[in-house]
Structure 1
Amino acid sequence: MEPLAEPMVQHTRKVVHYEEERTKYWNAFRDETNPKILKDDGLVISEDGGLSDIDELMYPMQYFSAGLIIVFCFMNGIMLSVVDLRALAQPGTSGQPSYFLLTNSILSVVFPGNPLEGHVEKVVPFLELLYFAYLLFQIFYECWKVWRGMRTEKDDPNIELQTWLTVSNLCWDVLPQLSSYSAIRLLYFVTPSVVGTQAYNMVCFVQDRMQNADTRMEKVWPVLQFLRYLLFLVCALVIGFDAFLVKFRLSIAYVQSSTLTLADSLAAFTFLFQILGVVNLNWFVKERLFIFIFGGEDGRVDIKEKARWDVWVALIAKKVFDQYGVMKGLIVLLAFDDYDFQQLVLDDDGKLDKMRSKNSGFFEASHGRTVPDGFTPLSPRQSPRQRASLTGGTTVP
């Protein structure tokens, strides 16, 4: 048989196995009133939230993912600073025909004199640099909070909880945000799917707080929080849209010259990178997964469920650091993604065998989730080449 023919034959066999498994499942469940298809492999949500599986979160791809976040933090910070400082150094457009901006239109209505006339184009890069400086300050401040909390956490359980929440916030929110931050990112919060999820959660939050309020002030406070959220959406839309217009016009000016310099290429690449980072899928997917696990059947996250959410996040950070130490713990938390989340919170029939192996000190990767022949398991412990290749195994390693 020719060398190229053998892989094609193997692939054909896997397709046939997949078709057979699909037909078998269909014949088994199609006539049942309440088909228990998810219980075929004993699939359940882990009662301990996956805390017993923390030792499975370190694998080679974690180093690559965490390193990528750190590299992009530095690259994005440098590119953003260079482009914004260059934009601020350009002369204003006072007395010249100005391009359309939502901010200009709003300021002209509110302030007939419009004190920022001719300089609105510089407001966006200035605010972007200002918030970038705030993110850097937040990183140093939260690192100081963690250092202080580590010294006093044993004396106060609340400080211990806040310390580990701060660690998770740094690794899951602040640093990833810095890696792809731009003013255009504000458009993420007005994306229809994101608004639908967050607005629903905010309404549930207001209803829950008002039902449990005892005083008038306690009833007014959640309403003010909801109004603040609406105001934030308006600001995110206006500033995000203007940021897109300003950066789009700047990028056109950079690439229209006959000779493309390194600075012009850097500015164009920065704009492209910021556009690609507007909708952060990791944020959205992680939020939906948390709501799926902690929000219950109705998808509403009440006070108790949000408390469990926070405690689980803090426990994950604490257990990771206890298991791997500081450096490897940071790598695991920075690279934590939806595959890791699924690996922790879901269990199947192989859970008991896996726990017995762990307790006896002979844990092997063979106690994985079983899948039908013909499926290619996508395990986060695999390298990109392993994920892309078609293997004939019957277990998730």
Structure 2
Amino acid sequence: MFKGSVFGMISDHKTRLTIVTAAVMVATWEVGWLIVQAVWVVHLLYMLCCEHSEYKRYNAVGYFFHTILPQASTFSAVKLMARVHPSLILNEYHDWVASFSERGWCGHRRNIIGWIMLTTSFTIFHLLCASAAISAFSVKMLAVSFTVVKPNISWCYRVFCIFATLLQIMGAVNVDALLQDRVLLFVFGGHRATYEDDTLAYKNAYMARLVKEI
């Protein structure tokens, strides 16, 4: 069944089944991510064209250029590793709690039940992200390794595969966006370096105004 593919080079049946399962999970996530992003882009275009609120229109434009385009430039499930990076996980948690409290999807952080729901959803989502990121990294490294040692493959193609994988890994953390978020957190977060409801509103209004000026 796997003859002629990289999976056919794995002799042990259980190991091959594990790797194939991980590859299927990674492929499913990446295709699903593309579909979700396409739907989200359509939603942003609708907001840009039909929304009466000036704030929402420019906020949609800012989200497209600040978030969606950088993610698409180095598209890979490996990028999910940024969600569970040890030096970023605390800020990720604060952003998760603040943003979902603002939207009211999982309760509010000032309510104990809402805080538990937000923390639980954060934990489950980021465990899934970690599983997908580790699976993607393992499958891609395995595929590239087998491609490099496989006979009758040109050196140009081998080098291309290596550089493509390096590009995906290096793009896991968007350093520019991270530094910008740190500056905004310093400006609007105050001495506690956390967003409250009012400071988050100020930050979002500032970003929308900045997009309008640009």
TM over 0.5: yes
1:305 aligns with 2:207: no
Deviation at 1:221, TM superposition (A): 3.0
1:238 aligns with 2:140: no
Matched residue, 1:352 = none
Distance 1:140 1:309 in 2: 25
Distance 1:141 1:267 in 2: 35
Deviation at 1:199, TM superposition (A): 2.7
Deviation at 1:296, TM superposition (A): 0.7
Asked if structure 1 preserves the Cα contact closer than 8 Å seen for 2:97 and 2:109, the reply is no
Matched residue, 1:145 = 47
Deviation at 1:279, TM superposition (A): 2.1
Q: What are structure 2's unaligned runs of at least 5 residues?
A: 102-107
The letter of the residue matching 1:97 is: H
Task: Say if 1:256 and 1:210 are closer, same or farther in 2 by CA, change over 3 A.
Answer: closer
Deviation at 1:95, TM superposition (A): 9.4
The letter of the residue matching 1:125 is: A
Alignment of 1:198-347 (within 5 A): 198-200=92-94, 209-211=108-110, 219-258=112-151, 259-260=153-154, 264-320=158-214
Alignment of 1:311-390 (within 5 A): 311-320=205-214
Q: What is the DSSP-based 3-state SS (H/G/I as helix, E as strand, rest coil) of the residue aligned with 2:195?
A: coil
**CA deviation profile, 1:347-379 (whole Å, cap 9, x unmatched):** xxxxxxxxxxxxxxxxxxxxxxxxxxxxxxxxx
Q: Under a length normalisation based on structure 1, what TM-score does the superposition of the two structures give?
A: 0.46
Matched residue, 1:186 = 80
Q: Which has the larger radius of gyration?
A: 1
Q: What are structure 1's unaligned runs of at least 5 residues?
A: 1-86, 105-116, 154-158, 214-218, 321-397
Asked if structure 2 preserves the Cα contact closer than 8 Å seen for 1:255 and 1:264, the reply is yes
The letter of the residue matching 1:164 is: Y
Q: How many residues align?
A: 204
Distance 1:137 1:187 in 2: 23
Q: Under a length normalisation based on structure 2, what TM-score does the superposition of the two structures give?
A: 0.80
Matched residue, 2:38 = 136
Task: Say if 1:210 and 1:131 are closer, same or farther in 2 by CA, change over 3 A.
Answer: closer
Deviation at 1:166, TM superposition (A): 0.5
The letter of the residue matching 1:99 is: T
Matched residue, 1:99 = 15
Deviation at 1:137, TM superposition (A): 3.3
The letter of the residue matching 2:54 is: E
**CA deviation profile, 1:135-180 (whole Å, cap 9, x unmatched):** 233223312321222xxx2xxxxx3221111110001111111111
The letter of the residue matching 2:79 is: R
**CA deviation profile, 1:104-160 (whole Å, cap 9, x unmatched):** 5xxxxxxxxxxxx954422212321331233233223312321222xxx2xxxxx32
Identity %: 18
**CA deviation profile, 1:37-64 (whole Å, cap 9, x unmatched):** xxxxxxxxxxxxxxxxxxxxxxxxxxxx
CA RMSD of aligned residues (A): 3.1
